[in-house]
Structure 1
Amino acid sequence: MPEGHTIHRLARELRDAFGGRVVKVSSPQGRFADGAHQVDGAVLSSTDAHGKHLFLGFDSAAGRSRAPATEPGGTATCSWVHIHLGLYGKFWIGPGAAPAPWGAVRMRIENDDAYADLRGPTRCEIIDPGEKAVLHGRLGPDPVRADDPETALRRISASRTSIAVLLMDQSVIAGVGNVYRAEVLFRAGLDPATPGREVEPAVLRAIWADLVLLMRRGVEVGRIDTVRPEHEPAAMGRAPREDAHGGEVYVYRRAGLPCHVCGTEVRTREAAARNLFWCPTCQA
């Protein structure tokens, strides 16, 4: 499942390609036909991301030119398309005129210069501003959005649940997925099984600051890199990581391999219905 940095990057790319312009919206697959009809011919006035949720705001005054909003909640926006990619959803953005659709394209956005095809999302629906506000209210603070982390830190500090599970709870912190969870806990030297209430407040604040750093970097470069300079392949004389997810990491999907720092075999087990990876020595 794409993590929060991917959704923020998508919001920016869609804003760059279509923001402030009239767009044609269709549903070649047909499953979003009614929703596409509601926003077809409207201006894509703003894009927004919160955690793993993407929101596209459309101005109903078709044909009216305006600068793309960089912040959500523009007053002229009356309809939002809410998208959650889930495990299988993908957005493809291409230049030029749109080709004949192939595969199950749930939604297509296009103008004369670019097109974007959405396939396989868990959610693709029209919502109004009130429904959007409710969705935001269910999500925790997002490290990419410069949100205030205090509510998340208080919830973690009061919980008996393990920090590994809490970090994956989108109502606690929005946008953290399996990769960021494993990597930020390694970088903090924290045992994933530690109950939230046993994590020192200073460590929690350091984890939040690290998430802000790593996830914003992910937005910029389009991949997850978490290793410090002294553990990069060139610095250690090791081969670069070869994985479809890309990026240099410490423990994610490295079960059975030696830890880059101490050489201990990286372990894995299930936590929050996902495989958790950690080093039993560095995170003792």
Structure 2
Amino acid sequence: MPEGHTLRRLAIDLTAAFGGEVVAVSSPQGRFAADAAQVDRTELVGADSAGKHLFLEFAGERFVHIHLGLIGKLDVRRGTAPPPQGAVRLRLASPDAYADLRGATRCDLVDGARVREVVAQLGPDPLRPDADPDRAWARIAKSERSIGDLLMDQAVLAGVGNVYRAEVLFRHRVDPQRPGRTLQKKQWQAIWDDLVLLMAEGVRLNRIDTVRPEHTPEAMGRPPRVDDHGGEVYVYRRTGMECHVCGSVVRTQDLKGRNLFWCPRCQPTFRSRSRSAP
């Protein structure tokens, strides 16, 4: 499933391509046809994201709410739109750009009240300037659930997926199975601050890179990562490979239906003890 940086990058690209323009809106597949007709040939004000949700704002406070789910894809292209190919749920088109949506789990026309309702149900998004990390901390600090589980809960923290979850915990040497309530606030703040930087870099590069300068392929004299997700990482999808930092074997196991990746030496098992004051 695309992580929050992908949706933020799409919002930027859609605004750049169509913001302030009157656009043709259609549904070649037909499933969104009635709603598309309501905003066809109207101004697309701009696009925004919150976590893994994307909102296209049209004049009159009308929004197309998109969630890509596991297989959804939204392609934004420059040039004249060619005949649609495949099951295109939504097409936006202007004289010099077009965008096609396929495979999304959600594509609905909603009003501003519904957008605010969706955003209110989400935890803070590290990519949003109005995000308050203390909202997430209030839940983490009281939870018996593992921090690895909490980071993937969009009601706790919005936009973080499996890659950023695995990588930020590695970077801070945190056992993914550690109960949230055992973290100190300064540890959470460091994780949050790192997510803000890493995800902003993901928006800029349109891929996830999480290794520090001393662990890049060039610095270590190792081959670059070959993976369809792209980017250099420490543990994500590196099961059975040597850790770039300590040489131990990276492990994986199932956690709430998703693969969890970690290094047992760099992220040693948390041993319960009395928690220091935050």
Q: In the TM superposition, what whole-angstrom CA distance separates every residue of 1:198-220 from its partner, at most 9, and x where no partner exists?
A: 01111111000000000000000
Q: In the TM superposition, what whole-angstrom CA distance separates every residue of 1:56-81 from its partner, at most 9, and x where no partner exists?
A: 0000xxxxxxxxxxxxxxxxx42100
Q: In the TM superposition, what whole-angstrom CA distance separates every residue of 1:137-184 from its partner, at most 9, and x where no partner exists?
A: 100000000211111011101100000000000000000000000000
Question: Pairwise CA RMSD of aligned residues?
Answer: 0.6
In the other structure, the counterpart of 2:138 is 154
Code of the aligned partner of 2:62: S
In the other structure, the counterpart of 2:121 is 138
SS of match in other structure, 2:127: helix
Equivalent residues in 2 for 1:53-202, closer than 5 Å: 53-59=53-59, 77-146=60-129, 147-202=131-186
In the other structure, the counterpart of 2:208 is 224
Corresponding pairs, count: 267
Alignment pair present for 1:256 and 2:240: yes
Alignment pair present for 1:241 and 2:205: no
Code of the aligned partner of 2:33: A
Code of the aligned partner of 1:165: D
Paired with 2:184 and 2:97, the residues of 1 have a C-alpha distance of 49
SS of match in other structure, 2:20: coil
1:184–1:207: 8 Å Cα contact kept in structure 2?
yes
1:50–1:174: 8 Å Cα contact kept in structure 2?
yes
Q: Percent identity?
A: 61
**CA positional deviation for 1:272:** 2.6
In the other structure, the counterpart of 2:271 is none
**CA positional deviation for 1:46:** 2.0
Q: In the TM superposition, what whole-angstrom CA distance separates every residue of 1:214-264 from its partner, at most 9, and x where no partner exists?
A: 000000010000000000001111000000000000000000000000000
**CA positional deviation for 1:273:** 1.4
In the other structure, the counterpart of 1:69 is none
1:168–1:272: 8 Å Cα contact kept in structure 2?
no
In the other structure, the counterpart of 1:66 is none
2:14–2:46: 8 Å Cα contact kept in structure 1?
no
Segments of structure 2 that go 5 or more residues without pairing to the other structure are 269-278
Q: In the TM superposition, what whole-angstrom CA distance separates every residue of 1:8-65 from its partner, at most 9, and x where no partner exists?
A: 0000000000000000000000000011011101100121100000000000xxxxxx
Question: Scaled by the length of structure 2, what TM-score is found?
Answer: 0.95
Code of the aligned partner of 1:29: Q
Paired with 1:209 and 1:96, the residues of 2 have a C-alpha distance of 39
Code of the aligned partner of 1:39: V
In the other structure, the counterpart of 1:46 is 46
Paired with 2:209 and 2:77, the residues of 1 have a C-alpha distance of 26
Structure 1 runs (4+) deviating above 4 angstroms are none
Paired with 1:216 and 1:234, the residues of 2 have a C-alpha distance of 23
In the other structure, the counterpart of 1:73 is none
In the other structure, the counterpart of 2:189 is 205
